[in-house]
Amino acid sequence: MTFEPELVVRAQAGEGAAQEELVRQFSPMVFRLVSRFFRHREDVEDLAQDVFFKVFTRIDQVRPDENFPGWLRRVTINTCYDELRRTRRRNAAFEIYGPQQESEPVAAVEVPAEPGDFGVARVALEALDPKLKIPLILKEVEELSVAEIAQTMGITQTNVKVRLFRARKKLAAGLTIGGKKYAVEIIDKDTTSDPVRAGQIARELINKNKVDLILSTSTPETNNPVADAAEGAGVPCISTVQPWEAWFFGRKGDPKKGFKTTFHFSFGVQDFANAYLAQWKQVPNNKKVGVMWPNDADGNAIRAALGPILTKNGYTIVDPGAYQDASTDFSSQIAKFKSEGVEIFNTFPIPPDFATFWRQAAQQGLTRQIKIAQIAKTGLFPSQVEALGSLGYNLASAAYWHPVFPYKWHLTGQGSKQLAADYTKATGRQWNQNLGSDAALFDVAIAAMNKAGNPKNKVAVSNAMRKLKVDTPLGHLDWGKGPVPNVINTPIIGDQWVKATSGKFKLDLLITEHADDKHVPIQAKLKPYSS
User: 290 near 340, Cβ under 8 Å?
Assistant: yes
* pLDDT given at position 368: 96
Chain mean position to CA 417: 19
Report how far apart the first and last C-alpha atoms of the chain are (Å, whole number). Answer: 53
Residue range 67-82: mean pLDDT, rounded: 83
Residue range 468-483: mean pLDDT, rounded: 95
d(C-alpha 308, C-alpha 173), whole Å: 52
pLDDT digits (tens, 9 = 90+) for 334-374: 999 999 999 999 999 988 899 999 999 999 999 999 999 99
Question: Pseudo-torsion of CA 64, 69, 74, 75, nearest 10°?
Answer: 80
CA distances from 135 to 103, 128, 152, 168, 461 (A): 24, 11, 10, 11, 34
Residue 107 β-bridge partners: 185
CATH 2.40.50.140 fits 6-86, yes or no: no
d(C-alpha 371, C-alpha 527), whole Å: 9
* pLDDT given at position 49: 81
Question: 10 Å Cβ neighbour count for 413?
Answer: 8
d(C-alpha 173, C-alpha 484), whole Å: 37
Whether 6-86 shares its CATH topology with 270-404+492-511 is answered no
Higher pLDDT, 395 or 172: 395
CA distances from 83 to 89, 269, 336, 365, 432 (A): 9, 40, 49, 44, 20
* pLDDT given at position 140: 55
Question: Is residue 96 over pLDDT 90?
Answer: no
Taking each continuous run of H as one helix and of E as one strand, the counts in the chain are 18, 18
Question: Is residue 208 over pLDDT 50?
Answer: yes
Every domain of the chain and the residues it spans:
6-86, 105-265+410-483, 270-404+492-511
Residue range 280-298: mean pLDDT, rounded: 94
Query: Helices in 400-521 by DSSP H: which ranges?
Result: 416-427, 434-452, 458-466
Query: Helices in 313-415 by DSSP H: which ranges?
Result: 331-340, 351-363, 382-386
pLDDT digits (tens, 9 = 90+) for 51-73: 888 888 888 888 767 788 888 88
Question: Is residue 170 over pLDDT 80?
Answer: no
Residue range 469-473: mean pLDDT, rounded: 96
Average pLDDT across the chain, whole number: 83
At residue 128 the predicted structure's pLDDT band, cuts being 50, 70 and 90, is low
What class, spelled out in words, does domain 105-265+410-483 have in CATH? alpha beta
**C-alpha angle with apex 451: 448 to 453, nearest 5 degrees?**
110
Question: Is residue 267 over pLDDT 90?
Answer: yes
CATH topology of domain 270-404+492-511: Rossmann fold (3.40.50)
d(C-alpha 63, C-alpha 74), whole Å: 15
**C-alpha angle with apex 303: 301 to 308, nearest 5 degrees?**
115
d(C-alpha 487, C-alpha 480), whole Å: 9
* pLDDT given at position 102: 32
d(C-alpha 260, C-alpha 253), whole Å: 11
